Amino acid sequence: MKRWIALLLALILLLSGAGLAEEKASVPSDMLRQMTTEQKIAQLLMPAFYYRQNEQGEKVGVQEIYPEMEAVLKEYGFGGVIFNLQNSRENEKALRLVDAVQKASGSVAGRPQLITCTDQEGGYVTRLGRGTMTPGSMALGAVNDPAVTEAVARLIGEEVVAIGYSGSFGPVMDVNNNPSNPIIGIRSFSDDPETVTVHGTAFIHGLHEAGSLSALKHFPGHGDTDTDSHTGLPVVVKSYEQLKDFELVPFQAGIDAGADMVMTAHIVYPLIEKGTYISKETGEEIGLPATFSKTILTDILRGDMGFSGLIVADAMNMDAIARHFDVLDAAKLAIEAGVDLILRPVDPFTPDDMAALEQYVRDVAALADEGKISMEAVDAAVLRVLSFKEQHGMLAPYDSGDLEDRIRKAVSVVGSAEHHEQEFEIAKKAVTLLKNENILPLNLPEDKAAVLVPFDSQVMSAEYAVSRLKEEGKIPAETEIPVYSIPSLPAGDLVKVCQENRRIFAVHTAYSAAGMDPAQKAGSSSVLMDTILTLAHAAGNSVIVISAQLPYDAARFPSADALAVCFGARGMSEDPREVGNGVSQYGPNLPAALYLLLGGGEISGTLPVNLPAMDSACKFTDEILYPRGTGIRLSPPEKPAE
């Protein structure tokens, strides 16, 4: 009897639990059943409102909601909105804008909130105009401390959430194993899958600790390409097995770590996806990119890898898609492949563009109603979006709360002096010394030194480093270290600088392999660096070359007397000590590098990538000149006893 009673109780509990689960699951399902097809399609879209046309016909950044924008949000709501630098130049305006957008979108009773995101990866790709840039992913790979990476992501998450965004499209899980990659580069943690895994998962944890959503990108991997999907359609000839052994390793770890979203790559994998399309530009048959591949997104990502969050298509206005695919065909292919949110389907700039966005919703809905787009696929994607919103509290009515208090917090947190000091300390840990022929540390002021930078915006970065050293007593106050912008220097003055200074710190920035090739226009800066080295050496002086963007150019200058890498070239337009909180976003990497190279502290970074040697034509070879893990530790000069 006791056994039967126990079984009966267990059955009652099981049935009651199932009933509760069914009741809970019915909220998104009920919403889906009540939606029109146009409302369903709108939930699958994440448009951008970066620019608008003002009354004078000028293109201006959108910093506040305007009538046409408000009207389309009220009409359709959308699944989300992506924000960019144009929307977030000022902290208060950025918060007021996202608040107004949520209110407009939620003006119809029962409509879910928007998912609001921005590309705040840290480093090279950051969108908060008055926020903290942080050193960037490859710099974090050079620090190689997951706790530091987690702290940086937590900082980023705090600022994103303070503005009112749901989250950030990051981390980048691409393994940058192709030095000719024109778009990922320092956005990647490393060319090693395990390193990317360790830091990528730490980044996810940091974002989540701050209450920010996370998104892995760019699935199934954008690291091994030599084409930028913003300007072309890359092709990666790798099998599924090869991807599983390399590119997919960090993505699987990120999924297991609880990543909320995955962003697709507009890259063709012909050994995996066999579907084709006739390019509208060339009339030739092309392969379907991962964004349109059901095999990659549904079978592999959801089936094999177990991802249950949202799949976000990278921006549809990128040339990889826009040049080759009809806009409605692209919508059909994305939805039927398993995409949940279509990013930037139509960019509304002019009133005609806004009308085109509305027409897009109607046209895609009509294709679904006519059976030309699978309604089953539409419903499945909408249900995933609504279930995701339920999970994250976005089905509840939007509430501004105490908006003025939120603004005060945003102004005090986003780009705070504390955050900037934190990023500077981390940027110092990333500085990596690859070569030192008894040049460093300097003996100042006897070692007469000068700094040459390739951009005017970097002058203040260098001067900031020098002035901090003096303020902190790290170098003698009487030390003169002039900083020159190379483009602003007459040729004769450049010759004098190279001849009259014993130690020349010359900054080089390469954004692509072309920037290292003297035969290409982009490589003119490397030719100029060759000239600086020749002039200085002829006068018996030494040159410390600082690779400030892609680290691969360090192999381009074998005659340098010392070589350092800092993984970020962004300058500054305002002195943060004068402005305080809310200073314009600036790069900490270059001032941190100069601070250490001039004697401010220990240099301890190590290369997170292999640097290949270059041949006489400045092309990469198979020889590894500086292996991953290379880094010369250097202590600052000892102060003389007082």
23-27, 89-93, 508-512, 632-636: which range is least confident on average? 23-27
Task: Check residue 4 and give its pLDDT.
Answer: 45
Q: Which two tokens stand for residue 73?
A: 């949000």
The whole-number average pLDDT for the span 592-621 is 97
User: Within 10 A of 54 (CB to CB), how many other CB atoms are there?
Assistant: 10
pLDDT in tens, 238-287: 999 999 999 999 999 999 999 999 999 999 999 999 999 999 999 999 99
CATH code for the part of the protein at 416-626: 3.40.50.1700
Distance of alpha carbon 253 from its chain centroid, rounded?
A: 19
196 SS3 class: helix
Q: Which two tokens stand for residue 191?
A: 């060319």
pLDDT in tens, 398-456: 999 999 999 999 999 999 999 999 999 999 999 999 999 999 999 998 999 999 999 99
Task: Check residue 121 and give its pLDDT.
Answer: 97
The CA distance from 297 to 272, in Å, is: 11
pLDDT in tens, 158-186: 999 999 999 999 999 999 999 998 789 99
Per the listing, tokens 């040459």 go with 452
Task: Check residue 19 and give its pLDDT.
Answer: 44
pLDDT higher than threshold 90 for residue 209: yes
Task: Check residue 580 and give its pLDDT.
Answer: 72
Q: Where in the chain is the domain with CATH 3.20.20.300?
A: 69-412
Residue 10's pLDDT band (cuts 50, 70, 90): very low
The CA distance from 245 to 545, in Å, is: 36
pLDDT in tens, 326-357: 999 999 999 999 999 999 999 999 999 999 99
Task: Check residue 581 and give its pLDDT.
Answer: 75
Cα three-residue angle 533-535-541, rounded to 5 degrees: 75
Task: Check residue 182 and give its pLDDT.
Answer: 79
The whole-number average pLDDT for the span 301-313 is 98
Task: Check residue 627 and give its pLDDT.
Answer: 98
Q: What are residue 505's DSSP bridge partners?
A: 451, 544
Q: Measured between alpha carbons, how far is residue 359 from residues 336, 348, 366, 512 in Å?
A: 20, 12, 10, 39
Is residue 314 annotated as a catalytic residue, yes or no? yes
Q: Where in the chain is the domain with CATH 3.40.50.1700?
A: 416-626
Q: What is the DSSP string of 262-285?
A: EEE---B-TTT---EEE-TTT-SE
pLDDT higher than threshold 90 for residue 9: no
Residue of 299, 317, 159 whose CA lies nearest to 230: 317
Task: Check residue 109 and give its pLDDT.
Answer: 60
End-to-end CA distance of the chain: 92
The letter for the amino acid at 452 is: L
- Quote the radius of gyration of the chain (alpha carbons, Å): 27
pLDDT higher than threshold 80 for residue 539: yes
**Burial class (CB within 10 angstroms; exposed 0-12, middle 13-18, buried 19+) of 477:** exposed
Task: Check residue 24 and give its pLDDT.
Answer: 46
Task: Check residue 21 and give its pLDDT.
Answer: 42
Pick one of 3.20.20.300, 3.90.740.10, 3.60.20.10, 3.30.70.20 as the CATH number of 69-412: 3.20.20.300
The CA distance from 154 to 140, in Å, is: 14
Distance of alpha carbon 245 from its chain centroid, rounded?
A: 24
Percent of the chain residues past pLDDT 90, beyond the cut: 89
Task: Check residue 1 and give its pLDDT.
Answer: 43
Question: Per the residue annotation, which of 314, 340, 447, 553 is the catalytic one?
Answer: 314
The mean pLDDT of the chain is 93
Question: Per the residue annotation, which of 230, 329, 353, 537 is the catalytic one?
Answer: 230
pLDDT higher than threshold 80 for residue 71: yes
Is residue 508 annotated as a catalytic residue, yes or no? no
Quote the pTM value. 0.94
The DSSP element (H or E) to which 493 belongs, if any, is helix 491-500
The CA distance from 583 to 575, in Å, is: 8
106 SS3 class: coil
Task: Check residue 307 and give its pLDDT.
Answer: 98
Task: Check residue 640 and give its pLDDT.
Answer: 52
